[in-house]
């Protein structure tokens, strides 16, 4: 690979196909019999949720480009039209695999253990009679049949709504098409009334009782369908007067956006398909015939069944060893304790291993109620619908603190929720910033200003995940609680940017996008290359959700060619091709898919034995580095660095949840063979318990009897033995 050809298309994978490859790994968890049946069902439901968003965002964006006549190629050499064609070819077999596995494997397996999704016709007469009564009393009054004929226009079909397409005739007259929307405010899984854990799908119940909804008609066919609409609708922020108006307009436009996918029953007749494609203005390539139920996402409700033998063992997030509540403490003594503890030494929290309520939420509660706190500032990208975080900020304002909140209104699919929080905060008299023109604010940061005996102290939280109590139980995220004054002063500048006119580009410790982060990361990658050329220790380990930015890929290629050993733990999108002779032979790309969504970002640079460690909100994607406000913080305490070493070691030696990318972009799952199973998430759960039991101090730190420090940063392709946590 010469200096001039590093940007050639053959060195880059396609972003969209890489994301679909990740969804295939999610789907694999839904078909892997090492997972108990309800865990597999959870992944099938996640596959539906994820691919719905993929079509709304990514396919929607491509179709906009095609409509606008865009022919510019991506780094991998594809035009928008070519990408759309390749996406369709890649997605169809995934949907077929999902449907086939459900129908032939998982549905019968669940039925064998008493959880049955029944065919209506297979029920006995008494059951059908009970369900017919339920339909007449509880479902029929909600339904609204919408006919399409010369007297009725074609009905509007809302995004992701499940519908019945009915072809009927009356006394030999012309065929009529009727759309019946499945009511989203009714349970999709209807209990078979005299049994437990047996259900019929509501669409099947409606179909079986159409004579009550469409009396006197001859029903020729009933088929199910669902449309997916484009979510990529935007307005020019530069000319808009009010960001709130922009978001409200975007939400309204999404309701009527173009259709990018039509899912139909596999046996839907051509007449119904033709009516739908014509009036939805889509082509054959946008039609997906489904053999299984259209939309698996409602199956999430089955996970609530009390069937522990059909699930993974439950996990309850644990207290952080440095933040254990003290028996008999008053609220004031407890809040004082957390600030004293942070000032005594930085604290690294790891969700869902550490409880959100006992760490980040406790920090914000303390800020709201401690009499010494003068100000509280927080950046909210996503938060729970019943957010205690928001309530803490309101409490802080009620208690006389200065409170400033940055709420990102452009957080995709959370716009409506965030608008509601903005209004609630403003009603409480809290100053709210909505975001910045041309940028999304993606930082996960909070700042507390506190008066103490020796002056005003700054306490900071810099994290990789949202201030969201629900996702903190299912996403793997890191956060640093620190009294480091440099970090606090940097955050002060960031929050001043949210509410003020400009961003100060001088920072002491934090890497801030879009002003310093790209440059600093590039410098550190180049520095490792220089060390390798000089024969010094050179090593890079990066854990991110996505690696899409072509410039960062190019720099990693340069570092590999210089001899730097590089491990990239990339959950989903990765455009870099590892293992190319003379280019990326020193790079290994890993992906981990487990019960918790891997969401933490960790950056390690060996630096000839004087390493740099960082965590923060940014992936190595162009949007994060150039078009979002992001914050990444150094981790300097040795004990905390050892915790991060442990996380990376467990990741690089996982033989249960880890996949390794091949040079062609495909992935192979690591299989334990004769070795003990090493599951990073199980190891971290065990290590969290061990930290509490053995009083190691910060969670997940282990002593040298369990793990040697030198082992922790060895290249992953060197054979090593990873000791289990006893």
Contact (CB, 8 A) for 547 and 620: yes
Which tokens belong to 402?
A: 């200065």
CA dist 334 → 328, 331, 364, 366, 369 (Å): 9, 5, 12, 8, 10
B/e letters for 576-601, b = 16+ CB within 10 Å, e = fewer, are: bbbbbeebbebbbbbbbbbbbbbbbb
20, 26, 81: which is closest to 54 by C-alpha? 20
557, 546, 600, 552: which is closest to 579 by C-alpha? 557
CA dist 288 → 62, 227, 608 (Å): 18, 10, 54
Judge whether 442 counts as a catalytic residue: yes
Contacts by 283-287, CB closer than 8 A, 24 or more apart: 285/84, 285/85, 285/88, 286/259, 286/260, 286/261, 286/262, 287/262
The SS3 assignment for 495 reads: helix
- The half-sphere exposure of 71 on its side-chain side, counting CA atoms within 13 A, is 1
List of E strands, 211-346 = 218-229, 259-265, 287-290
Residue 189 has a CB neighbour count (10 Å cut-off) of 14
DSSP per position, 147-184: EEBTTBPPPP--TT-EEEEEEEESTT---EEEEEEPPT
- CB proximity list for 168: less than 8 A, separation 6 or greater: 175, 176, 178, 214, 217, 218, 219, 220
- CB proximity list for 450: less than 8 A, separation 6 or greater: 339, 367, 370, 372, 373, 374, 456, 457, 458, 459
100, 50, 128, 222: which is closest to 573 by C-alpha? 50
List of E strands, 315-358 = 347-351
Contact (CB, 8 A) for 355 and 325: no
- Of 320, 350, 351, 442, catalytic: 442
What distance in Å separates the CA atoms of residue 523 and residue 505, rounded to the nearest whole number? 17
Please list the active-site residues: 442
């Amino acid at each position: 690979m010469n200096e001039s050809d590093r940007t050639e298309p053959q060195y880059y994978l396609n972003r969209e196909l890489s994301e679909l490859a990740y969804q295939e790994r999610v789907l694999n968890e839904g078909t892997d019999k090492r997972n108990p049946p309800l865990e597999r069902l959870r992944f099938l439901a996640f596959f539906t949720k994820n691919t719905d968003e993929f079509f709304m965002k990514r396919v929607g964006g491509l179709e906009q480009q095609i409509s606008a006549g865009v022919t510019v190629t991506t780094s991998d050499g594809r035009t928008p039209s070519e990408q759309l064609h390749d996406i369709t070819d890649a997605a169809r077999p995934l949907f077929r695999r999902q449907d086939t596995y459900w129908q032939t494997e998982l549905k019968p397996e669940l039925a064998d253990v008493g959880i049955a999704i029944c065919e209506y016709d297979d029920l006995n007469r008494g059951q059908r009679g009970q369900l017919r009564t339920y339909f007449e009393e509880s479902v029929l009054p909600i339904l609204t049949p919408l006919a399409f004929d010369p007297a009725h226009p074609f009905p509007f079909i809302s995004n992701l709504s499940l519908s019945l397409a009915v072809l009927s005739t009356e006394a030999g007259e012309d065929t009529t098409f009727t759309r019946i929307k499945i009511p989203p405010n009714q349970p999709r899984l209807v209990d078979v009334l005299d049994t437990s854990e047996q259900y019929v799908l509501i669409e099947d119940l409606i179909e079986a009782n159409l004579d009550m909804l469409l009396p006197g008609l001859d029903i020729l066919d009933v088929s199910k369908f669902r449309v997916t609409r484009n979510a990529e609708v935007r307005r020019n922020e530069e000319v808009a007067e009010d960001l709130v108006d922009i978001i409200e307009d975007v939400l309204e436009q999404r309701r009527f956006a173009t259709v990018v996918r039509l899912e139909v029953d596999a046996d839907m007749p051509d007449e119904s398909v033709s009516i739908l494609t014509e009036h939805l203005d889509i082509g054959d390539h946008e039609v997906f015939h489904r053999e299984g139920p259209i939309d698996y996402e409602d199956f999430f409700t089955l996970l609530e069944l009390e069937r522990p033998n059909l699930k993974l063992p439950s996990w309850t997030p644990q207290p952080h060893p440095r933040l254990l509540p003290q028996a008999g403490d008053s609220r004031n003594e407890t809040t004082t304790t957390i600030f004293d503890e942070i000032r005594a030494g930085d604290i690294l929290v790891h969700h869902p291993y550490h409880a959100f309520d006992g760490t980040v939420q406790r920090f914000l509660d303390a800020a709201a109620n401690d009499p010494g706190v003068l100000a509280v500032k927080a950046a909210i990208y996503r938060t729970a619908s019943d957010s205690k975080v928001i309530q803490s900020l309101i409490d802080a304002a009620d208690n006389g603190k200065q409170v400033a909140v940055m709420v990102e209104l452009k957080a995709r699919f959370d716009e409506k929720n965030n608008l509601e929080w903005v209004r609630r905060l403003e009603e409480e008299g809290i100053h709210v910033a909505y975001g910045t023109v041309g940028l999304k604010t993606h930082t996960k940061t909070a700042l507390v200003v506190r008066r103490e005996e020796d002056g005003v102290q700054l306490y900071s939280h810099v994290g990789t995940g949202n201030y969201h109590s629900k996702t903190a139980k299912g996403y793997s995220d890191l956060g640093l609680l620190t009294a480091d004054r440099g970090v606090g002063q940097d955050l002060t500048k960031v929050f001043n940017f949210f509410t003020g006119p400009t961003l100060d580009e001088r920072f002491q410790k934090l890497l801030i996008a879009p002003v310093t982060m790209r440059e600093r990361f590039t410098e550190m990658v180049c520095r490792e290359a220089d060390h390798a050329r000089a024969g010094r220790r050179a090593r890079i380990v990066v854990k991110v959700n996505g690696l899409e930015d072509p410039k960062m890929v190019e720099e990693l290629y340069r570092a590999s060619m210089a001899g730097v050993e590089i491990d990239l733990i990339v959950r989903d999108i990765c455009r870099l091709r590892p293992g190319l002779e003379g280019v990326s032979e020193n790079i290994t790309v890993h992906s981990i898919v487990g019960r918790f969504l891997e969401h933490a970002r960790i950056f390690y640079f060996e630096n000839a034995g004087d390493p740099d460690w960082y965590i923060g909100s940014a992936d190595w994607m162009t949007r994060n580095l150039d078009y979002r406000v992001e914050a990444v913080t150094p981790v300097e305490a040795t004990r905390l660095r050892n915790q991060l070493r442990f996380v990376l070691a467990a990741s690089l030696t996982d033989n249960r949840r880890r996949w390794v990318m091949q040079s062609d972009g495909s992935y192979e799952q690591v299989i334990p063979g004769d070795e003990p199973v090493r599951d990073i998430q199980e190891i971290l759960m065990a290590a969290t318990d061990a930290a509490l039991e053995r009083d190691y101090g910060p969670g997940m730190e282990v002593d040298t009897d369990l793990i040697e420090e030198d082992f922790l940063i060895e290249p992953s392709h060197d054979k090593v033995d990873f000791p289990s946590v006893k």
